[in-house]
């Protein structure tokens, strides 16, 4: 059999994986006297699997999502205030289809970034476009383009992606200009696309993040909470897990 000529034709058709496994797979099929249809099915399935894996790897890279944080590696026993059923429900990514938001509140180390990223990974796997920024990164990006009206920024990643994961709201207070840019961002996404936000500050303290501007804070909260799934994580820091074990568990570590 002339594998080379078949492989060349496959390459011509832009099949990316099959040409390299053609010989092995065909030899086995002949040896095992496989049904031709089953053989084709296997060949095509492997090509699809290969492309799917590559698509996910590329989208993960583009998204900028932190590495190594997945929903199925989250330890719910350690953080009982996180409702597993609620996370599972969100993992269908229906909230993205409905343009709803997800908000994670809690002190440092309780898994806000982990859960936000885990949902982002799910969204990538399901084929949604996803981008991850810390609030600081988003603001510096928006500042660079602040002379372009937002209406003309349609193609910017923080507007066009189906899901924006925005991490670490509240670590730094914003000035008036930054507060205005942040409002513009929230307004641009309102009912048009989902946002996941993590924050270490509770809502009653948000006015302090937004330059003590009560009007802007209310406008941001209004839009963000209009359709939102909210998690209030109230537990110990996973980063200090071993430290707490050494202290015989229980109690909040003094370091925080
Ligand atoms: P936060 O964003 O709330 O400060 P992170 O999500 O960054 O906290 O969590 C800190 C570290 O601990 C990360 O490496 C994360 O993967 C891990 N982590 C936090 N909570 C859990 C958990 N319940 N199960 C497994 N790993 C966790
Ligand atoms: Mg975090």
The whole-angstrom separation of Cα 125 and Cα 70 is 12
Is 142 in the same domain as 119? yes
**Ligand 1 atom with the shortest distance to the CA of 114:** 6
Q: Which residues line ligand 1 (CB under 6 A)?
A: 69, 73-75, 78-79, 106, 108-114, 198, 238-239
On whether residue 197 sits in a domain, the answer given is yes
Is 100 in the same domain as 215? yes
Range of the domain at 201: 64-247
Specify the residue for token string 């492989």: 7
Structure tokens at 129: 């476009």
Rg (CA), the chain: 24
Is 45 in the same domain as 151? no
CA of 115 to the centre of ligand 1 (A): 8
Strands 228-232 and 163-169: unpaired
- Residue 133: CA count within 13 A, CB half-sphere: 19
Is 39 in the same domain as 69? no
The whole-angstrom separation of Cα 132 and Cα 121 is 10
Is 183 in the same domain as 161? yes
Starting from the CA of residue 134, give the closest ligand. Answer: 2
Question: Tell me: the pLDDT tens digits for 155-201?
Answer: 788 889 999 999 999 999 999 999 999 999 999 999 899 999 999 99
Q: What is the CATH number of the domain that holds 127?
A: 3.40.50.300
Is 56 in the same domain as 146? no
Q: What contacts 49, CB < 8 A, 6 or more positions away? A: none
Amino acid 102: pLDDT:
98
Q: What is the pTM of this model?
A: 0.88
Residue 78, helix vs strand vs coil = coil
Question: Tell me: the pLDDT tens digits for 16-63?
Answer: 999 999 999 999 999 999 999 999 999 999 999 999 999 999 999 999
pLDDT at 255 over 50: no
**Ligand 1 atom with the shortest distance to the CA of 79:** 23
On whether residue 256 sits in a domain, the answer given is no
CB 203 within 8 A of CB 170: no
CA of 36 to the centre of ligand 2 (A): 52
Question: Tell me: the pLDDT tens digits for 57-85?
Answer: 999 999 999 999 999 999 999 999 999 99
């Amino acid at each position: 059999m002339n594998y080379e000529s078949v492989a060349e034709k496959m390459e011509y058709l832009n099949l990316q994986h099959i040409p390299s496994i053609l010989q092995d797979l065909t030899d086995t099929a002949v040896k095992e006297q496989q049904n031709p249809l089953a053989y084709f099915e296997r060949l095509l399935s492997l090509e699809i699997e290969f492309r799917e894996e590559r698509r996910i790897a590329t989208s993960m890279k583009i998204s900028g999502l932190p590495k190594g944080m997945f929903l199925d590696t989250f330890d719910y026993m350690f953080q009982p205030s996180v409702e597993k059923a609620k996370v599972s429900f969100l993992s269908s990514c229906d909230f993205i289809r409905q343009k709803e938001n997800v908000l994670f509140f809690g002190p440092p180390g309780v898994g806000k970034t982990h859960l936000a990223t885990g949902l982002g990974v799910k969204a990538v796997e399901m084929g949604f476009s996803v981008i991850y920024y810390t609030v600081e990164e988003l603001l510096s990006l928006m500042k660079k383009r602040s002379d372009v009206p937002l209406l003309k920024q349609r193609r910017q990643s923080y507007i066009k992606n189906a899901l924006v994961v925005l991490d670490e709201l509240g670590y730094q207070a914003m000035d008036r200009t930054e507060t205005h840019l942040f409002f513009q961002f929230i307004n641009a996404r309102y009912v048009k696309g989902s946002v996941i936000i993590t924050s270490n500050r509770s809502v009653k303290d948000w006015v302090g993040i937004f330059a003590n501007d009560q009007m802007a804070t209310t406008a941001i909260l209004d839009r963000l909470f209009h359709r939102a799934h909210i998690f209030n994580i109230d537990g110990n820091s996973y980063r200090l897990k071993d430290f707490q074990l050494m202290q015989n568990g229980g109690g909040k570590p003094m370091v925080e």
